[in-house]
Chain A
């Protein structure tokens, strides 16, 4: 079961914890908002994805499992 990450841009307030915790998949634009790789996360990085989703202060980072 793999997951892919997506941002709810309305909820996102550019706290930036997701990029700190998962720099392999998420980088920040010029204003601190996340640019998320839409591809499915490889299983070896799953734990980082889970932590990034849990860390978001506004619950804006979403994981879709399929």
Chain B
């Protein structure tokens, strides 16, 4: 399954990594909230204590499931050089070592928390309790990992979700500290202060780091992956010739036809352009486009940039692409298709490039 996805282009794996990562973070946040509810003995008429405890346990196991997919898709994705051991050995990877390493650290902590909890009777209550405090460390580490490594840090919805997660855990933490505040007040006050400070630090780092310019480079993305965007952006402002194959399949059950174009732009670093268009054929020729997918990149990483066709005008296509690091690329592609020979020729020019 993973191999198939990799061959189809890295995008499915990349989507899965991002999706499972975000879901894991949201679920982990709810696990922390449930844990706080458990320790504060929160209870409601129709919500018994065992429900909180049971959910806390089962949602954690669900997080582990999502994380397994998250890690597997990341390792399988050929885009970045992330190996399986990087998932458990912190700071040893060559891709954004610090921020990825935090993910490994969070994962290690989570494994320790789950193992000791499942074996609580064997481990003994004192040891279990002591270790479980690390949960308050695992959660922010996971959050920062997501913001530092993830490709979605800049999006508005991610900012919103992050704010909600930080706010809910911080407020729940204050509430827990406030219960029975008379006991060990200095310790509780210090912890509250620490929690508030940590929230501020993370927020500030988020604003100046991932949300700032050039984060990919600052975060430690390998140069080979970075230069592809910069190099590509500058290299193709003058038009370059294209040559390749053309294939048409269909019409399918919905009456749509699929055109697949696979072309190479020669040069010092040859780059491959692949287009997949789906649409209805017009009586006078041409196609009404319903779906398109475009990938563009060097032979070693043909899916480095991915996107779709945003405009179609006869033989000319305007293509909008993004790469993993968040850089944007717009290409103007002119194509001449020889249906009978199954070949295609044309030209490619970079219209706009915006590094991340």
Contact = CB atoms under 8 A, between A and B. Distances in A.
Q: Does chain A bind chain B?
A: yes
Interface of A: 11, 15-17, 20-21, 55, 57-59
A57 B129 CA distance: 10
Interface in B107-136: 120-121, 125
B38 interface: yes
Contacts of B53: 17, 55, 57
A59 B49 contact: no
A32 B310 CA distance: 66
Contacts of A11: 125
A56 to B, nearest CB: 10
7 contacts: A17-B48, A17-B50, A20-B49, A21-B50, A55-B53, A55-B54, A57-B53
Contacts, number: 21
Given A20-B48, A20-B49, A59 B125 contact: yes
Interface of B: 38, 41, 48-50, 53-54, 120-121, 125
A59 B120 contact: yes
B50 A20 contact: yes
Nearest to B39: A57
B121 A15 contact: no
A44 B48 CA distance: 24
Given A17-B48, A55-B53, 19 more contacts: A11-B125, A15-B41, A15-B49, A16-B49, A17-B49, A17-B50, A17-B53, A20-B48, A20-B49, A20-B50, A21-B50, A55-B50, A55-B54, A57-B38, A57-B53, A58-B125, A59-B120, A59-B121, A59-B125
Nearest to A18: B50
A55 B50 CA distance: 7
